[in-house]
């Protein structure tokens, strides 16, 4: 059937967003708008105990929603009180597809770098233990993030660099460690440095994300983001690479399905 075929090739996966804080009613509307725009799967990322629990709740409630769970760098000051047995239990949930977001954020907090690194290391080893991909948050900590994935990951890991915002050389070095490069709304902003990254990285290593409710793509910048805007990011990549929208949709969906081991869309 032609119609179904077209829907299939235009299908997108939002590999990273935070839908935890929307009201039930808003969420229903957001998810239905996303489906209208061809977003077939949505991965909701946790970053602390509450958001992890909520991400799993949403994944249980909506068939198209999956969850990632982890303790992000914002929880590093509380490292002694984190509930590790709860996290391990959550990692084993059938709709939890990755550990994340985890990583380092030297922009928001420069005073607890050793705690951040310890927390990150511990979760990289959990990813190896449970054979799960990792979703990386990196802000102004590229070298340390790279070193830790390399040392602790022992080349056994796959994962994605969430909201990648650095240069092509660094993107290629993360790809060599098994990471995919996740592109969000920044690609649509004027003066973005991501254009050269997109040009130099093969489509086989790119996944798409909205990071809802943040980083809303143009022309909606300044408004609340939602997964339904993901097509704007796919569009920008297609334009930059000089390939069709369908090609971007097909390949990035294939990449995300492989990374998170998502079953094929029926
Ligand atoms: Ni995020």
Q: What is the pLDDT of residues 2-52, one digit of tens each?
A: 444 445 557 999 999 999 999 999 999 999 999 999 999 999 999 999 999
236 alpha carbon to ligand 1 midpoint, in Å? 21
59 alpha carbon to ligand 1 midpoint, in Å? 16
Q: Considering the domain boundaries, does residue 198 fall inside one?
A: yes
Q: Considering the domain boundaries, does residue 266 fall inside one?
A: no
Q: Domain limits at 12?
A: 3-261
Give the mean pLDDT of 197-225.
97
What CATH code is carried by the domain that includes residue 92?
3.20.20.140
101 alpha carbon to ligand 1 midpoint, in Å? 7
Q: How many structural domains comprise the chain?
A: 1
Q: Considering the domain boundaries, does residue 196 fall inside one?
A: yes
pLDDT computed for residue 266 by the predictor: 38
137 alpha carbon to ligand 1 midpoint, in Å? 7
219 alpha carbon to ligand 1 midpoint, in Å? 21
Between the two ends of the chain, the Cα-to-Cα distance in Å is: 13
18 alpha carbon to ligand 1 midpoint, in Å? 6
The interaxial angle of helices 113-130 and 84-91, nearest 10 deg, is 40
16 alpha carbon to ligand 1 midpoint, in Å? 6
Q: Considering the domain boundaries, does residue 123 fall inside one?
A: yes
Q: Considering the domain boundaries, does residue 55 fall inside one?
A: yes
Q: Considering the domain boundaries, does residue 186 fall inside one?
A: yes
Q: Considering the domain boundaries, does residue 232 fall inside one?
A: yes
117 alpha carbon to ligand 1 midpoint, in Å? 18
Give the mean pLDDT of 151-162.
94
Q: What is the pTM of this model?
A: 0.95
| Alpha carbon distances (Å) from 123 to 102, 151, 155, 237 | 8, 13, 15, 32
Residues 107-156: pLDDT tens digits?
999 999 999 999 999 999 999 999 999 999 999 999 999 999 999 998 88
33 alpha carbon to ligand 1 midpoint, in Å? 21
pLDDT computed for residue 72 by the predictor: 98
């Amino acid at each position: 059937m032609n119609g179904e075929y077209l829907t299939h090739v235009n299908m997108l996966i939002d590999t990273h967003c935070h839908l935890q804080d929307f009201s039930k009613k808003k969420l229903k509307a957001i998810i239905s708008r996303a489906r209208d725009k061809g977003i077939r799967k949505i991965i909701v990322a946790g970053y602390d105990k509450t958001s992890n629990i909520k991400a799993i709740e949403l994944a249980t409630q909506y068939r198209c929603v999956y969850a990632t769970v982890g303790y992000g760098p914002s929880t590093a000051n509380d490292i002694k009180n984190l509930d590790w047995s709860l996290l391990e239990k959550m990692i084993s949930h059938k709709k939890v597809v990755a550990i994340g977001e985890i990583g380092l954020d030297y922009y928001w907090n420069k005073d607890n770098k050793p705690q951040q690194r310890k927390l990150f290391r511990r979760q990289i080893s959990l990813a190896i233990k449970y054979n799960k991909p990792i979703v990386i948050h990196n802000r102004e900590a590229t070298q340390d993030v790279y070193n830790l994935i390399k040392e602790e990951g022992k080349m056994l890991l796959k994962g994605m660099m969430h909201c990648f915002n650095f240069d092509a050389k660094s993107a290629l070095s993360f790809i060599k460690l098994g990471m995919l490069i996740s592109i969000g709304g920044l690609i649509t902003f004027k003066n973005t440095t991501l254009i050269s990254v997109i040009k130099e990285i093969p489509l086989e290593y790119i996944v798409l994300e909205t990071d809802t409710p943040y980083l809303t793509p143009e022309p909606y910048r300044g408004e609340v983001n939602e997964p339904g805007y993901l097509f704007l990011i796919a569009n920008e990549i297609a334009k930059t690479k000089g390939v069709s929208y369908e090609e971007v949709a097909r390949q990035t969906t294939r990449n995300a399905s492989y990374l998170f081991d998502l079953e094929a869309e029926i």
